[in-house]
Amino acid sequence: MKSSIIRIVALIAAVCALAPVARAADITHKFLGVDNKANNLIYVDQTDAAKNWTTAIPGGSRDLQIIDGNKVLVSHGNGAGEYDLATGKKLWSIDSFRGINSARRLPCGNTLLGGAGKGGIAIYTVDAKGKTLNTRILKGMRDLRLMRALKNGNILLTIGGPYRAVEVDAKGKIVWQAKLPGKGYKATRLPCGNTLVSTANAVQIVEFDANGKTVNCVGGKKSHPDMLLDCFSGFDTLKNGNVVVANWLGHGNQGKGKHLIEFDKKNKVIWTWGDHKTAKVLTNVLLTDEIKPTTSPADAGQWTALFDGKTLNGWTNPYEWGKAAIVDGEIHLTTTKRKFFLTTAKQYADFIFEVEVKMPEGKSNSGFMFRCHRKPNKVFGYQAEVDPSDRKWSGGLYDEGRRGWLYPNKKKKETIAAFRKNAGETFKRNDWNKYRIECVGMSLKISVNGVMTTDFKDATDAQGYLALQHHGEKGKIYRFRNIRVKVIKPAKE
């Protein structure tokens, strides 16, 4: 009887010992990671591998932030970029800086860029066009990795000499600090008011209270001697208080150990991830388990065809010259005098407009007017540029009949260089090109063949007509097809 009881107790103990392991094996996460060895941004969905993707990013990338519910902001050594969360496609970038380690999008839409500066840590505030609005130098401070903008306007970061986590105000004055057991990497303020900090070679994540006193610590080589803990860098937290940290394997440990480790508050390892085919050395992680991508305007409403392939119903020519004909399901524009625009009969406010264009050989130019206005023999307003010339400004934003070029800015050579680098090769000469124009409030976005070429904010026009342009080259045929619109907000009558 006694031996039977012993066997039962042993069996129960064995089951209890195995139960946590079984539960841990069932844990799955969705996450973004920065691989700063391969210079890749990766997305892993452990519930659906078909959603995984990898995209190349510039060197020096470190920081991650979800913006707008469906995009991720990534700091680059030369600035920052936005990438589509579902596909990894690059949507926007700033690349005129050097030595950047951190990037944070502010509620106002501006972006903070942090890195090494002359005399200390430099924090730049830049607008959507990459223009520097403000530069703050934290004099005498060094070793910035990641920074966090707090709701009170202060900045939370880790620094060296000695190693500390500090909170600085707008003047660079330290208003809170905590001594670290080693070089810091990331500091974040918890909802309870405590501060969580990762330490590199000390391989610990330390929690400090408002007085800078240590209240908890997870990780550490002594506590986990069987794990190859190399260097803790970026981390993210879960609602249950667990922490997932990137275990940077760059000290000769590439191909070994785990890239990511999840600890609970009692310093127990809950989950790990190590896929050395997918990633080489991860320097940061951002969990997306709880993120529900927002519905973009493009997902709302229904598409409406603006051209039925047979008639010009819904279109009008406000000029005394110019001809529009239908040939093989396409709209063909020709003129014997000078440029003209074929406009919609209806106005639109907030919308997605898509159209394909094929330009004639030789010298030519065109554009798509949107939220534009018309008078007899005149159309004016916003225009998405179609430029087959060597200038390569297709997808730029022009204000026809008023201010001229809005983006790129002809007076600022750096905007032209940035535009050509991003969009210069998107237009296909002697082929069909797809344009997509998205207008929501002040936001004006233009894409050419899937590449966002312009992301501009302007409040001049809230609604107006759509139009197709013939630039005026006599005898040349401008061809358009697959014209449609999705109304987000209808125009006022």
Residue 377 phi/psi, 5-degree rounding, is 65, 25
493 burial (CB, 10 Å; 0-12 / 13-18 / 19+) is exposed
Mean pLDDT over 350-360 rounds to 94
pLDDT for residue 301: 62
Which of 28-32, 212-216, 453-457 is predicted with the least confidence, judged by mean pLDDT? 453-457
Tokens in use for 221?
């080589």
24 or 21: which leads in pLDDT: 24
Residue 25 phi/psi, 5-degree rounding, is -65, -25
Do residues 463 and 381 make contact, with C-beta atoms less than 8 angstroms apart?
Answer: no
Q: Kindly give, in sequence order, each residue whose CB lies less than 8 Å from that of residue 235, ignoring residues fewer than 6 positions away.
A: 186, 196, 198, 205, 243, 244, 245, 246, 285
The residue out of 269, 287, 305 marking a domain boundary is 287
Do 199 and 326 fall into the same domain?
A: no
Confidence class for position 421, pLDDT limits 50, 70, 90:
confident
Do residues 206 and 200 make contact, with C-beta atoms less than 8 angstroms apart?
Answer: no
Task: Supply the CATH number for residue 310's domain.
Answer: 2.60.120.560
Do 381 and 469 fall into the same domain?
A: yes
What's the CA gap between 411 and 173, in Å, rounded?
Answer: 38
Q: Is residue 7 part of a domain?
A: no
Do 77 and 190 fall into the same domain?
A: yes
What's the CA gap between 82 and 99, in Å, rounded?
Answer: 18
Do 186 and 211 fall into the same domain?
A: yes
How many structural domains comprise the chain? 2
Q: Is residue 16 part of a domain?
A: no
Tens digit of pLDDT for each residue in 439-467?
A: 999 999 999 988 889 999 998 999 999 99
Confidence class for position 108, pLDDT limits 50, 70, 90:
confident
Closest by CA to 56, choosing from 29, 70, 37, is 37
The residue out of 287, 318, 344 marking a domain boundary is 287
What's the CA gap between 132 and 110, in Å, rounded?
Answer: 10
Q: Is residue 18 part of a domain?
A: no
What's the CA gap between 140 and 491, in Å, rounded?
Answer: 55
Q: Is residue 435 part of a domain?
A: yes
pLDDT at 316 over 60: yes
Bridge partners, 198 (sequence order): 205
Task: Supply the CATH number for residue 281's domain.
Answer: 2.120.10.30
pLDDT at 123 over 90: yes
Residue 477: count other Cβ atoms within 10 Å of its Cβ.
16
Tens digit of pLDDT for each residue in 360-396?
A: 999 999 999 999 999 999 999 999 999 999 888 999 9
Do 164 and 251 fall into the same domain?
A: yes
Do residues 158 and 164 make contact, with C-beta atoms less than 8 angstroms apart?
Answer: yes
Instruction: State the residue range of the domain holding 346.
Output: 297-489
pLDDT for residue 218: 98
The residue out of 287, 309, 326 marking a domain boundary is 287
pLDDT for residue 17: 44
Do 369 and 235 fall into the same domain?
A: no
Bridge partners, 445 (sequence order): 438, 455
Do 275 and 335 fall into the same domain?
A: no
Which of 215-229, 294-308, 365-379 is predicted with the least confidence, judged by mean pLDDT? 294-308
Mean pLDDT over 102-114 rounds to 91
Q: Is residue 20 part of a domain?
A: no
Cis peptide before 162 (omega within 30 of 0): yes
Do 86 and 43 fall into the same domain?
A: yes
What's the CA gap between 132 and 420, in Å, rounded?
Answer: 20
Bridge partners, 204 (sequence order): 199, 219
Q: Kindly give, in sequence order, each residue whose CB lies less than 8 Å from that of residue 393, ignoring residues fewer than 6 positions away.
A: 385, 387, 408, 419
Do 329 and 271 fall into the same domain?
A: no
Do 450 and 309 fall into the same domain?
A: yes
Do 207 and 344 fall into the same domain?
A: no
Confidence class for position 3, pLDDT limits 50, 70, 90:
low
DSSP assignment string, 449-464? TTEEEEEEE--S-S-B
Do 359 and 279 fall into the same domain?
A: no
pLDDT for residue 424: 83
Q: Is residue 22 part of a domain?
A: no
Q: Is residue 216 part of a domain?
A: yes
Q: Is residue 292 part of a domain?
A: no
